[in-house]
Structure 1
Amino acid sequence: MMDAIPYGRQHITQEDIDTVVEALQADFLTQGPRIKEFEENFADYVGSKYAVAVSNGTAALHLSVMALGLQPGDRVITTPITFAASSNCVRYCQGELYYADIDPETYTISLESVKALLDAHPKGYFKGIVPVDFAGYPVDLEALRIMADQHDLWILEDSCHAPGGYFVDSNNIKQYCGGNDYMDAAIFSFHPVKHIAAGEGGMITTNSEEIYQKLLILRTHGITKEELHYDIPFPEEQGSWYYEMKELGYNYRITDFQAALGNSQLKRADQGITRRQEIANRYYEAFAGDKGIRCQKRKDQAFNAHHLFVIEVEDRKGLYDFLRAHHIFSQVHYIPVYLLPYYKRIGYEPGLCPNAEKYYRHCLSLPMYPTLTQQEQEHVISCVKEFING
């Protein structure tokens, strides 16, 4: 009998283990040199000027909207097909959320739906947009930037699914997710099923020095030893221990051993992307002739990093149960955020985004991870086709 096949899985090598052990035996478990090394290497990988490592992707979202200046009552546009954290970060700051529908082909935020929301309200009504590179598919941020600039909006790109993904802009330049010329900040996650696994952990990237400096302070309680004012009694008696808390920040730091693992995984990032493309291509090829299976659209100007491989089928629950009976543990990504109990309780109702709700009724994520073997993938494909055609 074949072992259980999950939808996603981390790949930890002996080199990863040795790197973490070395970090554990070093002088610093946190706030040490491996964090800065990871930040610099990651910034170089995605093509951004700055990177700030934090404790997880949710912390990255929270600190980013704070650094971008989100205030209570500010309104932000995002997509409903994403993990709840993409919306929750706005609520943490007491902001209000407006949901744009999804593109029914790519499952990313619909630029037409964003435009409709912007056109329906006066300039200044919204403060920002949080697009999501869903399943690894990059949002066309060049087109979104044009709309954002017309309404003085910032763009926070949720790239948790998409390190290594990119789109080609009108100047024929590859614009990588999290490092492109069109976002104000971007975030990533290092959860075990992501491209780069660090147990937990997250990263914020930006090309703005101002945002970068804000993030560094907010990550560590709002405390700094830079640009001190000594505005306390007896300032002449303060020594090198002295610090000042300038903002109400958080303890969202990552550890050195997590950063060490992230760094080790980053070295294999391109190898992992290549393998994900091979798996995706095999799925596309296998399902090309099946009218009962719909796959995420592929477009020439976008390179999908394939965190997920999503299909749509008529009887999603039936296929989900059938696969589980054959030890294949597929997953659903995602329930539209505004249909979750918390968001319904604060006033959101079904029918808000018809494309997103239709997608949710039919979507299923098949196994997608670099160590998925050819035999395992053939088993997945065979079971899917048996159910659909049987």
Structure 2
Amino acid sequence: MRRLLYVVIFICFMDLFIELPIVTPFAMSLGASEYQAGIVVAAYSLFNLFGNVFGGYFSDRIGRKNILIVGMMVNIFVLFSYSLIDSVGGLIFLRMIHGMSSGMLTPVAFSLVADLSRKEMIGRSMALTGVSIGSAAVIGPALGGIISSQFTYQAVYMVLAVIYIVGLLITFFAVKESTTKEERLQYNTTSFSALIKRPALNVAYISSFTLMIANGSLAFGLPLKVTALGLEDHITGMLLSIFGITAIIVFASKLNVVYTRFRSEDLVASGILIVALSMSSLHVVSDMWMMVVVMLMYGLGFSLIFPSMNKMIAQNTEVYERGKANGIFYAYFSIGSVAGSFLSGVFATYFQFPFIFIGIILFVMLCVQLIIRKYSKIV
């Protein structure tokens, strides 16, 4: 059953990646200005945050499987509805609902994986979720671009709806509920505020926020760097693929033994340091091959952080509170993504490239994490 959960996670993240190349041009084809197109993009991310918290909370209360089914059914309805949209206002409204329903799914799916994993294998299980996400990151944008160029923007959402129907059938017939009735009755034992204040979880939350600041900055700033070096636009996609493939190799190969041999906190700290150095290096590299080396470094750092911070959530929560904790965790994820893009835009406006300043922010966040570990006696 756990293998099928990785398919479900792949589908959930295809939702994000398949539409990356088309959201802005779709909005502008309906008459949106650049400012309005930005709102269309931001609406999804903002309501994704609310969906994360909502989905996590109710998965503790009424069960993981039930929330997955409800979220997927709403998503299917929303995705088919894109074919009816003919105005910018309608698109923004639909993106709000879409962000909410999609946001419900991620913390639930990760809670299921953690619930069903043996304690000593949680790190490897989380690495395999990284394979699912990395695969979606490589396949999704290319698929979205091909479908939209051959057909229409709406056709991309129709294809995604069909993919979600497959996910719904898998969830309904093959995924079992991972919580018991007794555990669900304890859903209110731990409050959100208690989970937010728990030091071990705070390290994971900060790691999530930090990683997504870097990812948001990379998505914003890398095309600018490629253009400034006089390289063709498709080089941006190639460089992003290098980072994704590097991470997948670590996740899926025997290298993933690091997630069981070393402490998650140490792996996360090492990964943030590598990512910070990578971001800072992007500011000064002067040719494509140097950028390839930097993206290999970035992929390595990402591969150390992602499974490890998810493992920290699993190891420091009980089943009846894990959904809420994952909801908070992925809310930090969403906030970090928005913050990374916003800060990069500000820095690029005044300094051409945002990377050195984002690198400094990552170093600061690493210091914050280490201070929390020191004073909370998290070795």
Higher strand share: 1
TM-score by length of 2: 0.26
TM-score by length of 1: 0.25
Larger RCO (CA within 8 A; separation ≥ 6): 2
